Chains A and B, each alone.
Chain A
Amino acid sequence: MTAVAQPRASAWGRLRYRLSVWRREPTVLLGAVLVLILLYLVVAPLIAVLSDAGQVQYGDEEKAGAAAGSVTSFYLWRVFRSPVSQLLFWEPLVHTITVAIGVTLVAFVVGGSMAWLVSRTNVACRGFLSTALVVPYMLPSWTFALAWLSLFKNDRAGGQIGILEAWGVHTPDWLAYGAVPITICLGLHYYPFVFLLFGNALRRIDSQLEDSARILGAGRFTVLRRVTLPLMLPALSSAILLVFGRILGTFGTPYVLGLPVNYTLLSTSLFSAVRNHQQGVASVVTGVIVLIGVAVVLIDTRLVREQTRFVTVGGKGAMDRRSPLGRMRWPATGLGLGVFVVAVVVPVLVLALTTVTRTPGVFRRGNFTLKYWIAEHLDGAPGFPHGVLRGGDLYTAAFNSLRIVGIAALVCGVLGLLVGYVVVRTGGSRLSGVLRQVTFLPYLVPGIAFAAAFLSLFAVRRGPIPALYGSLALLVIVLIVTHLPYSSRSGISAMMQLGREPEEAAQVCGAGWLYRVRRVILPIQKGPLVAGVLLPFVSGLKELSIVIMLTTTGTQLLTTLSINLVDFAYSQMANAVVLVIAVVSFLATYLTQRLSRTSLASGLGG
């Protein structure tokens, strides 16, 4: 009964057999098509941007001393070694690192302590705090920047002064603009990352580990120092790296708060290079951002892998354990509520107030006005001569936003589930692995770098693909690609959870492919599909750094409209538009969580 060498099937026979299998099961074909399209959309832009960095661009022939299209190290020299390199690259790099470290610290201190309070102590209003403290992440990140300006802006830059100046309190430049406010504003936006990830880890830690230490005679603080915190380390470092990666690609806040004092980050430096049509320089900066982004993610995956060595998830031990705070209970509650007030109530209130007062900070009857919202005509605002709710601009932008983000989200949700379907159905094969990796690739690249890369690729006609710059289609595509990692991951995990058996059972029962998809897969995956559409929709609505470089006057979105108004120094109207976005995105997030019972944490991709 041992194996006897049998004549093997001929190559021709095997091929014919494989073809007839593929004909019956479109999964492989579907997967191959997906891989090809995604490879083009994900890899081609990166190649385009790299080749732009090494080729003389049109208009630069004289400076580079070579013909357009020839290979050059001119841009590398310009960015890294030339007299302007300080301004173009080195300063922004130092600023980016400074801000990133600062933001990470703020996010760690605020998010970490709040996570501890909410998940491990008997602090009052726990239910409220655990939801309320996440709200800052539901607001567009530069909401805080605009609120900051409304409070602290001095007369250095044009437009209206802030409330403090109006009250006669002079605010120095370092407080009004630059590193300090950028760090604080981004810290307030990103601490929910740490709050969610850290809190999650805290809740899942096996309390038997801590109990063992207690029984062996360790005091409460020794347990915290020697057992709990070391166990939390991987989750913590992962959260911190995630925040760090996000800072790299964030645009709105450094633009609003840094520009008046020329405090540039890599993202804003990239933006001005693109705006000034320095394609070569922009490509080099993009390359650097991509490199740092890849490094951050690689370190993170390494840490996460190590994290699996820490088996902190317990069965019965993973129960809720809250230590009593004693006399500190109410002060601690006050601290929690204080964070909510500072991070949500104050910014939103300030923004709202500026849109209804003529002179900021003056709360007399005659000073209140609704003109910035509804006036038919506004004097002194030639760029936007009417209230926000008047004229077509807001509605056009809102319509564009809904349309573009809506289509992108829909495609994302369906694509995510399709990717999940193919990955699970072809599990273990090379196709499955490749598809997994390709859909994960955009995660390595900060959004703003991706946008720049798309600009490189689609600025001109390439083969059968027309120049897409300035079209809505380009915005849709870039939104899809940047959200792909999240939606394909959730699609994969949804399909993994389902497994292939339900579909195979239908297959054995005699159902063809379309019938199976229609009657079995789709009905079962309805929930994940809705979530897979809603999550990218919510995050796309407040997306700025990805779309800012790709929009033109004809393709204005809500977010870019508000930045335009900032450019015009119409702060009341910019604030009003941001408020609209904040309200819409908050409601959408809230509804999403209600409808799909998904938590925001799953959308973080952490």
Chain B
Amino acid sequence: MPDITLTDVSKSYGTGPAAVTDLNLTVPDGSFTCLLGPSGCGKTTTLRMIAGLEHPTAGAISVGGRVLDSVERGVFVPPERREMGLVFQNYALWPHLTVARNVEFGLRVRRMPARKRAERVRQALTAMQIDWAADRYPAQLSGGQQQRVSLARMLAVDPKVLLLDEPLSNLDAQLRLEMRAELKRLHAETGQTIVFVTHDQLEAMTMATHVAVLNKGVLQQLAAPMEVYRRPANRFVGGFVGSPPMNLIELGDTRSGTEVRRQLDRLRPELLPRVAAVGVRPEAIRIAESGPADDWVFEASVGAVLPTGSSWTVSVTPTSGTDPSASAPVDGGPELYLVSYQDVAATTGARVRCRVSADDLHLFDDDGARIATAPAPAVAP
């Protein structure tokens, strides 16, 4: 089982802050694992370390028990001997070689006989549906087509692991959708282990079997995509995954902070002392007059209604939850965003009643870590 295992891997450049800190990560064999995080979080560095293009300052990396890097033991296997495939963000096709020659390169290096080579090149190009461009030069192809060639080039050598560095970020929206489906199909067909770097949480959600969320060089959570969405391990993950982002309400003395504290006091008094902030996904806020008794209910005034076609994003400012007649002006309570899949028949300034079911409140402590509200059936990867 060629799992990719990173053990206590750290990487720093010069005297600057560490790009990656004590990363422990196991990418399961055959998984489609996504390294997700904002720019500068160390995800690309991690990928390049797996490929052998960057060298960790501490720790070890191994694939299927074969040690590729071990700073402690002085082991280093150069990238050219790691039998991996890496697709670059800008594709990195060689401009002086035709498409077929580009794909053939790795096979030539391996001294494969010419006839077999031609066959493999044809296979790889056909698999990526780009065989018609075999004799063209990369400059004559569009970004999406170059992307396919770049994938074919790596597939041709049949790598043990396929690494993808933000491969879709240079494509337009339509092509990105196509390539997402294409990559998912590829993974399903070949069962290849794929490690994929992106800053786009939607990409991670739609494609990955496992998501590793990184921030400032530190692993935040490694879990299945839905698990990351439903039970974010901390405030950062909660805020990063999901669009529009999760509403984070500090239990301070703002209007909504007071409101949510009152709610918690009613439902989970034993947890209240530990809670520092509460996260609520926009999709979890409903505009409804009635609902279950343990709902958190608050009155709010509508700021703006932003229809997107399939849904409505609404900004609301809580006014008062207990006294519906109160018309006190807003005193600095944070605006909340909610997403509704039904037409919101309200305009700016309108009063609405919002409800959030108790299960949809994510509680975070002082360190930002998640407070388990129920024995969670953890989906450990």
Contact = CB atoms under 8 A, between A and B. Distances in A.
Interface of A: 1-4, 6, 8-10, 13-21, 24-25, 428-430, 499, 501-502, 504-512, 515, 519-520, 523-524
A13 B88 contact: no
Contact of A523 (B79, B86, B96, B109): B96
Interface of B: 8, 10, 13-14, 21-22, 51-53, 55, 57-59, 69-76, 78-86, 88, 90, 92-96, 105-106, 109-110, 153-154, 157, 218-221, 233-234, 367
B71 A17 contact: yes
A13 B85 contact: no
14 contacts: A1-B218, A2-B218, A3-B218, A8-B58, A9-B59, A13-B72, A17-B70, A17-B75, A19-B74, A507-B79, A509-B105, A509-B106, A509-B109, A519-B105
Given A9-B72, A506-B94, A523-B96, 10 more contacts: A1-B220, A8-B58, A9-B71, A10-B72, A17-B70, A17-B76, A501-B90, A504-B92, A505-B94, A511-B105
B71 A14 contact: yes
Contact of B53 (A13, A20, A507): A507
B74 A502 contact: no
B84 A508 contact: yes
- Specify which of A1, A24, A25, A523 lies most central, judged by the most chain B CB atoms within 10 Å of its CB: A1
A511 B78 CA distance: 10
Nearest to A523: B96
- Specify which of B80, B109, B221 lies most central, judged by the most chain A CB atoms within 10 Å of its CB: B80
B74 A505 contact: no
Contact of A505 (B82, B86, B233): B86
A502 B106 contact: no
A340 to B, nearest CB: 38
Given A6-B22, A20-B75, A511 B220 contact: no
8 closest A-B pairs (Cβ-Cβ)?
A: A16-B74, A501-B92, A509-B106, A24-B78, A20-B76, A505-B92, A13-B72, A510-B109
Contacts of A501: 88, 90, 92
B218 A508 contact: no
Contacts of B71: 9, 13-14, 17
A41 to B, nearest CB: 27
A4 B94 CA distance: 43
Contact of B22 (A4, A13, A504, A519): A4
B96 A524 contact: yes
B75 A1 contact: no
Given A13-B74, A20-B75, A506 B105 contact: yes
A523 B98 CA distance: 13
B74 A17 contact: yes
Contact of B55 (A17, A504, A512): A17
Given A1-B234, A4-B22, A14-B57, A508 B109 contact: no
Interface of A is mostly: helix
Nearest to A12: B74
Nearest to A20: B76
A308 B295 CA distance: 57
A519 B79 CA distance: 17
A16 B57 CA distance: 12
B71 to A, nearest CB: 4
Nearest to A506: B105
B21 A3 contact: yes
A507 B218 CA distance: 28
Contact of A13 (B73, B106, B154, B219): B73
Contacts of A14: 57-58, 71
A106 B90 CA distance: 48
B86 A504 contact: yes
- Specify which of B10, B88, B219 lies most central, judged by the most chain A CB atoms within 10 Å of its CB: B88
- Specify which of B22, B69, B71, B93 lies most central, judged by the most chain A CB atoms within 10 Å of its CB: B71
Contacts of B109: 506, 509-511, 515
A20 B22 contact: no
B221 A1 contact: yes
A20 B74 contact: yes
Nearest to B219: A1
A17 B109 CA distance: 26
B121 to A, nearest CB: 13
A521 B218 CA distance: 36
A502 B94 contact: yes
Contacts of A21: 55, 76
A524 B94 contact: yes
A428 to B, nearest CB: 6
A512 B90 CA distance: 22
A6 B8 contact: yes
A430 B14 contact: yes
A16 B55 CA distance: 13
A17 B234 CA distance: 35
Contacts of B233: 1
B243 to A, nearest CB: 23
A2 B234 CA distance: 11
A64 to B, nearest CB: 49
A512 B78 CA distance: 9
Contacts of B55: 17-18, 21
Given A505-B92, A507-B80, A512-B80, A428 B22 contact: no
A429 B75 contact: no
Given A8-B58, A505-B86, A509-B109, A3 B22 contact: yes
Contacts of A430: 14
B323 to A, nearest CB: 42
Given A1-B221, A523-B96, A504 B88 contact: yes
Contacts of B73: 13, 16-17
